[in-house]
Chains A and B, each alone.
Chain A
Amino acid sequence: MRLCCTYLALLVTGAVSYALAQTTSPKNPLGHGPEVVAEGHTIFNQTCTTCHGMDGSEGERAPALVGERRFFRLSEGALYDTVKHGIPGTGMPALNISDENIWKVVVFIRAMRSSASEVDVPGNVAHGKEVFFGKGSCAKCHMLDGKGGTIGPDLSNIGAQITLKRLKESLTIAGPIPAGYQPVKVVTLKGQTIDGIAKNQDDFSIQLLDNQNHIHLLDRAELKSVNEPKTSLMPHNYDKVLSPDEYNDLLAMLAKQVTINLHRKIEGDGEVGR
């Protein structure tokens, strides 16, 4: 009886440690700070570019890491394993660099595709929100958690949607106008002028959201003129009109806006690599 129980206890212990071994993966000891990313970037461009391309953007002999969504779904531990041990049967070798440097490379690879929310962005979030609804006038066009304007994209989940780099560019550099936000001014045959953005349009119709939050379902045959300004309604000078603190705090606040993590791993999606 006792033997039986001991045997059972061993079995249970064995099962538990097996389960633990299955779930334990190497842990990143360095964090995700900008300096770690920068050091990882340097090591990456010294070590990995032959196959994966400069900045991981264009690989001649191996995947362009920045472009492939599947790498993003790998855990940090899985990336570490891949760099440390290589992928048997492929051209990916085990890298003979220190563990610390491997972690830096891992953090850099993750940062390339990381959404803004997954990166450390120092700043005062509460003050950033004040800037959003106050001096920055962002709420005139954008919504945050159900409050704000409708003419620009809802930013409630922006931290999970775009990278920090992209977020900074949106605030400071004029870029192409995204689909669904083209400013448009139409004059109808009856002489009515409507200003807003084209949520959608084709050869025959325009779906126009005006500045008063009305959607107009327009047939081009009923329009006298359609005018599309080339510039976005979005100002791109926040680094100039805001103080450095205000800008950084706004950035930090936006980076933390996550309602749904769009990149989270979905059960049933295969792991890649090892």
Chain B
Amino acid sequence: MTAIVASLLVACAAPTEAAPSVFESPVTPTPEGRIDKLVLAKLSKLGIPPVLCSDAVFVRRVYLDVLGTLPTAKEAREFIQDPDTKSKRRLLIDRLLARDEFAEYSAMKWGDILRIKAEFPVNLWPNAAQAYHRWVLASIAEDKPYDKFVREMLTASGSNFRVGPVNFYRAIQNRTPDGIAGAVALTFMGTRTESWPTNQLAGMAAFFSQIGYKPTREWKEEVVFWDPLSTNAEASNCASNSSTLTATNIAPQTAVFPGGKRVKLSPDRDPRKVFADWLITPRNPWFTRNIANRVWAWLLGRGIIQEPDDIRPDNPPSNPALLAYLQKELVASHYDLKHLYRLILNSRTYQFSSVPRSDAAQSEANFGSYTVRRLEAEVLIDNINKVTGASDLYTSAIPEPFTYIPSDQPAIALADGSITSPFLALFGRSARATGMENERINKMLSAQWLHLLNSSHIQRKLEQGPKLKVIFDSGHKPPEMVEELYLTILSRFPTPDEAKIAADYGKPGQPKTAKRREDWVDLTWALINSSEFLYRH
């Protein structure tokens, strides 16, 4: 296999015609580790020659994927000009994984999956949504091992305001044993119980048939607890609007693991713990595969099993050996997710160019090129604000009194899906209703273009944003200003062609040195509306 890889790499080292070099590195990609070997073996079979991305593309990509935030002009410039080509990418990855925004941005993704939302439809209530988010954020910030993170959620008891992870069991629309089992399977096994045989779901639901919910004297406080007296047949504490329980054909004291093994529930042990013991172990076929595949999907834009939360026998991984390797690494690192991030980010596979050399769909499906995708709603508006120096107002109109978020807080740090803005709604932020990954929709629609191209919301930022003002009023020569705008917005230097187009833009006949303010606004507008700004690439 090594020979195949080597010949492939030689083949793609030859200079190719298309894509401008600004996006690609002339350096031949050599396999950096096991990931690359496994991916390249597949690619060579398919005849897909991958190309490495340029430093400029890399710096932008890794900031966006790890922090959900653009590099500043200074950060981009320093990285691109750093002569240490051997290790600068690795060192940057380490620096970024240590930054606070990593936890904020990860918590945003988890917020979708764990359905952190005060209001409709999961109705956690604001204090509970905040407590839930705070716990998730702190867990990520302290590098809590993933297995511990999940166990705390699955076995938590206590007040929704005080014990963050109990809200896992509250952030479910259908709080019946079946509904809870469905949420557990989706979240931690990456599988949709809709496709399961009914009795399989019922068997698993029995583990969640003794969860009680009771109010306290504090307004909207609710205690989640193990209630051994509650059974499927009299689950009166479960959601009042729940439909009929379908788990009644299972004797209350027997539960069945999704693999088929039956277990008698003992009256002195919380069945949630019995389930957690089964799930959270390297031997479990679901647990590690789900998270390894999810993290891969977050970074590469698609899962080895796609979609990442639709794992089932008839949806096999596109590269089984690759997924198995990631799982092995995760287990060996004791479920250190940052280890997995580091491994993937340092692979040449992650650093491939996004400009496909062959059929784009096939190339992306086999990780022969990085999948371009529009920035998430929160990341997009944060980046627009970062570039312009403007800010947005995030509010929740319910319950009263209305919630307002301080203007210096970025959208990725919003704890609660009910705290929002028209922009976030328009650009497909997750409704956090189901915990499914595809609730978030990163696709350009006409109405979104109207907003980006021509709304007063964006135009105001371009005309009045304080950071842009600093550039516009800097007194620097136009070519320097163009360069600064490119580094700020696109994280790279302009090409000579681009520099010329930018210099020529303006009123016909006017001297190039005398650009009007509105010409600079238009130039900024064009860069912000370019695919290069709007998409991860």
A binds B: no
- Chain B residues close to A by CB (< 8 Å): none
- Chain A residues close to B by CB (< 8 Å): none
